[in-house]
Structure 1
Amino acid sequence: MGPLSAPPYTLHITWKELLLTASLLIFWNPPTTAQVTIEAQPTNVSEGNNVLLLVHNLPQNPAAYIWYKGQIMDLHHYITAYVIETERIVFGPAYSGRETVYSNASLLIQSLNQKDAGSYTVEIIKRGDGNEGVTGNFTLYLETPKPSINGSNLNPREAVETVTLSCNPDNQNASYLWWINGQSLPISPRLQLSENNRTLVLFGVTKYTAGPYECEMKSPVSASRSDPVTLNLLYGLDAAISSSYTYYHTGEVLKLSCLTDSYPLAEHSWLMDEKFQQSAQTLINDCHNDKLLSVIHTAELPKPYITSNNFNPMENKNVVALTVTLTQGYTYVWWVNGQSLPVSPRLKQPGKNRVLILANVSRNDTRPYECKIRDRVGSIPSDPVTLEVLYGPHIPSILSPFAYYGTGENLYLYCFADSNPPAEYTWTINGNFLQSGQELSIPKITTKHSGLYGCSTRNSATGSEGSTFKTIKVSVETPKPFISSSNLHPRENVETVILSCDPDTQDVSYLWWINGQSLPISHKLQLSKTNRTLIILGVTKDTAGPYECEMKNPVSSSRSDPVTLNLLHGLDAPTISSSYTYYHTGEVPKLSCLTDSHPLAEHSWLIDGKFQQSAQVFFIPQITKTYTGVYVCFIHNSATGRTNLIIKRIIVNTSGLSSVNTEGVWLGSDGVSWLRGTLSL
């Protein structure tokens, strides 16, 4: 797919014109073998940025492109259309002012918002042997925001209260997933999801369903996971006394522990023979009833946190080490993007998994990382940290619909290079600085704007640079040509004619037409190297024209007035047209001498060698016997110089019929032919 740009001009069309355009584009849509596809650049796009929908596998000879919002192709969803022959853009009711359609059917949408998310359909109108329509469909998704979890009750009582968790915000174009303890949600009657999975209902919360919970918003192009939320479950009390023995000797140390699973922590009181001793979970005493010696408390898991040697590494250059705080007596488990760490030679975990090393960091490593510490009782995750990988710019692309423009049109060029942070853009023409910025717009261009346009990109963070170039040619409209001829009055099959298409103009192509059709392949028709001159060898009636020549450049074309050669031809073998070969006296014969000739031939009639008259038709009122004789029609074409004649014998008789021989002869330029026949007189 070639680069794009804004079309040369845009028209705001009235509704009557719009409806007329729509009616002209209605067509039968048969199956087609070519599958039109749409590609988004970039593939992941966030709100406020631009996206270009590139169309691939365009059919041959299209007439127009129409874009719709959604999959319904009607006037209500009609965004904009591009009519190729007139290079016109027609806006529809769904046009927001931020869409631009290009001559290769691609659509640029600027300053995206949530309303722009969804599917887009392009309808392609074909022309030629029959109208045929093909459609392509694409669904645009914006990057999902980081969700958050809201709970109806974050401090529920165990097995008694029901909790409703909601994943916010509500996004119709995203799907929702829930995780518990870092695992996908199990199938359980205690866990019920709403129809769209955005709400999770926990019936009679227990220790096993207290969390931590995470919710994930997911679209085909991105996914985001919330911070974990754990319910502060209130539960207990089932008490038991832990002791090594039931019987003791004097002098031994008595240690009793009162064990119960409770949250919040239970309050403990010891009594001996119903007499209060102390308030503590553990009672240590000797058998001589001495006072309390020690009290033991149980500590909660400390929350870990992650440090890094580099939170902004450069792609394929830096090695990143993520380190979690050292805590004795725990194991470490790493998570990336909410999933357990994949097996990869690029990921190493020395130091009992406390350190995660990422070798040759790539842009795909721009994901949230978490580390959980565990003991025999439970686990607690760190807050996620995300690497901001610096990369690019790659070789930029200049997007423009044309390489050629007409004077007075608007030039719009768009440069794009994948880079983080976004690249700095600079435009040049023929090596001279024009401006900075990703877009270049020049209104009403002239021929002085022709040249080599360059787009240079630079990433100040990576120090990398890139450049690309595109040649833009600005042309004036072609003048109306005219045909010059070496001879407008050639003799048939004798003379050669040279036709020239004038004026001689640079940067145009020449086309020739005969009888309104493109020039056929013939050895009698020869074109010069530039096609400006046409040589007609031995002109005939079939090659006499009319001829037209056309001058064409990428932005316009003009055709000459038709020119027809005044072909001089003849003389073919003449014929004498008469009703009879013999006549009776008193009849009125009418003899016509016929031949194909241009200009018209000169005719002379003779009887028995004596001149009678100069005319094509020889008329004799009331013929008599004296008109019996040999009739000669002599013809001459003064333009071609050719001469011909035909001889016919006429018999006038008043007596009975008898059999006589008659002879007729015509004399042509190539020899003499005799006509013989028998008449009954």
Structure 2
Amino acid sequence: MEPPSSLLPTCVPWQGLLLSASLLTIYSIPTMAEPTVESMPPAVLEGKTVLLLAHNLPDDLSAYRWFKGEGLLDKDLIIMYDMKSQEARHGKLYSGRETLHPNGSLMLYNVTLEQSGVYNLNIHSADLGQKSVFVDVSVYPLLSKPSVRSNRTAAVEGRDAVELTCEPRLLKTTYLWQLNGKQLPDDNGTILSQGNTTLTLLEVSRHFKGPYECEAKNPLSASRSIPFSLDVFYGPDTPEIFPPNKYFEEGKSLWLSCQAESHPKAQYSWTINGKPWNSKEEVFIHKTSVSNNGLYACLVSNPATGRNNSTVKEITIVEELPKPHIQIKNRTVLEHHFVDLTCVSENTGVSIWWTFNNKRLEATDRVTFSWNNRRLTIDPITKKDAGTYQCEVANPLVSRTSDPVNLAVLYQPSESFPVSALVAAGMAAEVLAGLAILGGLAYFAFFKKLDTSQTP
């Protein structure tokens, strides 16, 4: 918007000039700032000092009054001052720890928590008339070290409830809880009440065991309690037996260990096939035999919780396993005939399988096994079946493999030269070789005798 002078015509009477000058004078007067009151500092600890500093009070102030609260009741008056008589008068809330300054500011000494709240500076002036200016004063307690009180120092898991209280309980104070140095997590089994000063563990678990701390804090101070240790008794859980093995070799040692989660430490005992064995965590048998087969039961108890638990493990002692061997009638077989191989083992109840040229042998229409795999039958046999055969026996602990058996297969190379001829030729060659050896021996003996007779 343009100033009022820009709206005047070029030539005007002198009365118009006077009016314009008056308007310009009013327009140029600066607007007076509104009165305010500031708390210095904005927040204060009890026992300290706070100044309620007044700003922009009018010059024609005639009187002012300080009240606690937003009203103007006599019962809330702290102090008032009359500018004309320059006299101050104390109200009902004056405590002797207040000082009024000439500029209208109010100093509060050694403040208490009850002095927190709204203060009202009510001023009187010719220009403003009567006006109230408000300021909020925040007084916080000076926190000392809190302490934790509990209805019990030890509890049983799943049975007991625990109530922890942080003392003292103060106004304008926030309370936080920590367990094992970490902020207490949200849990369905915990309840915070009484402004978080009370922590209730509805049904304790082992996870609630440890040192508890409560921290009291406000914007100006903080303090943490000495840790309170809560002990939680639990268990015994279902025990575990180590090692997990079920089978042990005959003649070797047997060692079993029983472990169960428990606090305090569980008490242990063992039974073997229903008969008491010992009251230790371990079972040790130096040299086992099949008489040690049976059910091994570990029993655990916790007198602090009054609870018991157990677990049972079946143990089987396995006989020593010697190397097997293969029985076979003929290691040279004619093609299209059949062959039986038998795996001989001193042990019963073992697993048996066969290998051919170091590869697992599977059943086919020509290759069959007996019900317990001890006998291998190949019928009819072909030249592809020539090679190395072995059998392997195993119990749950170890396995043993037989020495290899080489099987030869004689086959007919062509129809014009039957296999029988080859066999006959082979036998004839063996006969001729034998006769040659005998002839050579006779010849050698004859000349040896002749040489002896001619010696002088």
TM-score (norm 1): 0.39
How much has 1:549 moved relative to structure 2? 1.9
- Give the helix-richer structure, 1 or 2: 2
Aligned to 1:308: 150
Aligned to 1:362: 205
Aligned to 1:647: none
**CA pair 498-360 structure 1, distance change in 2 beyond 3 A:** same
Letter in 2 for 1:601: A
Q: How far apart are the structure 1 equivalents of 2:236 and 2:421?
A: 75
Q: 2:352 aligns with which of 506, 510, 520?
A: 510
Q: 2:236 aligns with which of 378, 389, 393?
A: 393
How much has 1:526 moved relative to structure 2? 0.7
Q: How far apart are the structure 1 equivalents of 2:253 and 2:147?
A: 56
Q: 1:416 aligns with which of 251, 259, 277?
A: 259
SS of structure 2 residue aligned to 1:422: coil
Q: In 1, are the aligned partners of 2:157 and 2:205 still within 8 Å (CA)?
A: yes
- CA deviations on 1:367-416 (whole Å, 9 max, x unpaired) are 43233456897554432213222222322222316433323434333333
What is the identity percentage for the equivalent residue pairs of Structure 1 and Structure 2?
A: 34
Q: How far apart are the structure 2 equivalents of 1:302 and 1:394?
A: 43
Aligned to 2:423: 600
Give ranges in structure 2 of 5+ residues lacking alignment.
1-47, 52-77, 82-86, 99-107, 111-140, 431-456
Aligned to 1:434: 277
- CA deviations on 1:9-32 (whole Å, 9 max, x unpaired) are xxxxxxxxxxxxxxxxxxxxxxxx
SS of structure 2 residue aligned to 1:477: coil
**CA pair 574-426 structure 1, distance change in 2 beyond 3 A:** same
Q: 1:443 aligns with which of 267, 286, 295?
A: 286
How much has 1:525 moved relative to structure 2? 1.2
How much has 1:256 moved relative to structure 2? 4.7
**CA pair 238-559 structure 1, distance change in 2 beyond 3 A:** closer
SS of structure 1 residue aligned to 2:231: coil
Q: Which is higher, the Rg of structure 1 or of structure 2?
A: 2
How much has 1:528 moved relative to structure 2? 1.9
How much has 1:320 moved relative to structure 2? 1.6
Letter in 2 for 1:314: V
Q: How far apart are the structure 2 equivalents of 1:463 and 1:392?
A: 9
SS of structure 2 residue aligned to 1:448: helix
**CA pair 481-248 structure 1, distance change in 2 beyond 3 A:** closer
Q: How far apart are the structure 2 equivalents of 1:510 and 1:352?
A: 75
Q: How far apart are the structure 1 equivalents of 2:249 and 2:228?
A: 54
Count of residue correspondences: 314
**CA pair 569-597 structure 1, distance change in 2 beyond 3 A:** farther
Letter in 1 for 2:355: W
SS of structure 2 residue aligned to 1:472: strand
Q: How far apart are the structure 1 equivalents of 2:324 and 2:365?
A: 25
Letter in 2 for 1:528: S
Q: In 2, are the aligned partners of 1:306 and 1:325 still within 8 Å (CA)?
A: yes
Q: In 2, are the aligned partners of 1:570 and 1:598 still within 8 Å (CA)?
A: no
Q: How far apart are the structure 1 equivalents of 2:405 and 2:221?
A: 97
Q: 2:320 aligns with which of 454, 477, 482?
A: 477
Q: 1:335 aligns with which of 177, 197, 200?
A: 177
SS of structure 1 residue aligned to 2:316: strand
Q: How far apart are the structure 1 equivalents of 2:402 and 2:339?
A: 18
Within the alignment, does 1:318 sit opposite 2:141 as a pair?
no
- CA deviations on 1:429-465 (whole Å, 9 max, x unpaired) are 3333333333444434344333333333322222333
Aligned to 1:523: 365
Q: In 1, are the aligned partners of 2:162 and 2:200 still within 8 Å (CA)?
A: yes
Considering only aligned residues, what root-mean-square deviation do their CA atoms show, in Å?
4.5
How much has 1:331 moved relative to structure 2? 4.8
**CA pair 447-598 structure 1, distance change in 2 beyond 3 A:** farther
Q: 1:468 aligns with which of 311, 317, 329?
A: 311
Give ranges in structure 1 of 5+ residues lacking alignment.
1-235, 262-298, 576-594, 604-613, 617-681
- CA deviations on 1:149-179 (whole Å, 9 max, x unpaired) are xxxxxxxxxxxxxxxxxxxxxxxxxxxxxxx
Q: How far apart are the structure 1 equivalents of 2:170 and 2:335?
A: 111
Q: In 1, are the aligned partners of 2:324 and 2:400 still within 8 Å (CA)?
A: yes
